Amino acid sequence: METPTLNNLKATSTLQEFISANKQTEFLLQSIGIPTDSYQEKTLLQICIEKKWNEKELLSWLRKQASRHQKKKETENFDLNELNRKQLLQYYNKISNRLNRIINEFELDFHRVCKVHGVQYPILKEMHWHLKKISEKVRFDLMMTDKTITPLLKSTNTGSNSILYGEAKKYERSINLVVQDQHQIASHIQKIEKMNPHPDDIEGSCSTMKTAFQDMNELFSEIDTYFELLRNGIIPKLNQAINKD
């Protein structure tokens, strides 16, 4: 009998069926506090009723995260040093699109968490302030990269490997700003981590809160991937081209 895909499963499916359809769901369920070993025969609906969670939201989250994991896995099997400028541009486009999408979705989810639990747990509002600063800076860096850095990677697609003096100066200013923002973003992330927030410490925390905290960790990981691409892939390749010219 053919194993059903994650999109074919419903809230009335058991955890064992979810894990058989997609191994990543085991990690995802454990990350929000569900002991998969002892709950495998239970349905997602039964667990959500016990915990007073929304089964439709949880099912949607599992599908979304499993899909993201698969797409991310497909783009991580290579060495940045071995990519040429055209390949780096293609990889950057995938990373930037994914990061933008994650930021947009996460902001909506965390806003809901703050709206429901913010009065009782003021630390969530403090976290929200830092998260908004992180989002603002990442969006600015993505915009600046699109305007002044990635166009230099595109030059190989038009048959030119040479980088003009004016383009090189704009590139250098942009890199300085990106490096500065990277340090500031890291500082905001460290402050959030020092608060040591965890949804399990909040009595009656809903599935939206638990999945939002997991999504926050994913956001931080994607931000690291973005800056790693710039630091270890794009910047060295463009520096080499500028020094060569």
Neighbours of 59 (CB within 10 A): 19
Residues 118 and 70 in one domain: no
Task: Measure the CA–CA gap between 171 and 104, rounded to whole angstroms.
Answer: 27
Domain check: are 60 and 169 in the same one?
no
Q: N- to C-terminal Cα distance for the chain?
A: 61
Tens digits of per-residue pLDDT, 61-120?
Answer: 999 888 887 777 666 666 788 888 888 999 999 999 999 999 998 998 888 888 887 787
**Dihedral, CA atoms, 217, 223, 225, 227, nearest 10 degrees?**
-150
Of 50, 74, 98, the position where a domain reaches its end is 74
- Structure confidence by residue, pLDDT tens digits, 5-57: 888 899 999 999 999 988 889 989 988 888 888 888 999 999 999 888 889 98
Please answer whether residues 85 and 237 qualify as being in contact, where contact means their C-beta atoms are separated by less than 8 angstroms: yes
200 — phi, psi (to 5°)? -65, -20
How far apart are alpha carbons 174 and 166 in whole angstroms? 13
| pLDDT at 177 exceeding the cut of 80 | yes
Same domain, 120 and 54: no
Closest among 240, 217, 237 to 106, alpha carbons compared:
217
| Residue pLDDT, tens place only, 181-199 | 999 999 999 999 888 666 6
**What is the pLDDT, as a whole number, of residue 13?**
92
Burial 170-208 (b: 16+ CB within 10 A, else e): bbeebbeebeebbeebeebbeebeeeebebeebeebbbb
Do 143 and 33 share a structural domain? no
pTM score, whole prediction: 0.80
95 and 156 fall within a common domain: yes
The domain boundary, picked from 13, 45, 74, lies at 74
Indicate if the pLDDT at residue 142 is higher than 90.
yes
DSSP-derived letter for residue 6 is G
- Judge if 12 and 109 occupy the same domain: no
Claim to verify: residue 198 and residue 221 sit in the same structural domain? yes
Same domain for 103 and 5: no
Helix/strand/coil (H/E/C) assignment for every residue in 185-218: HHHHHHHHHHCCCCHHHCCCCCHHHHHHHHHHHH
Q: Are 118 and 211 in the same domain?
A: yes
Which residues is 14 bridged to in the sheet? Answer: 43
Asked whether residue 145 falls in the same domain as residue 218, the answer is yes
pLDDT given for residue 162 in this prediction: 59
Among 74, 103, 131, residue at a domain's last position? 74
Q: How many domains in the chain?
A: 2
Phi and psi torsions of 14, nearest 5°: -80, 160
Rounded mean pLDDT, 213-225: 91
Q: Are residues 66 and 106 in the same domain?
A: no
Range of the domain at 2: 1-74
Residue 38 and residue 124 share a domain:
no
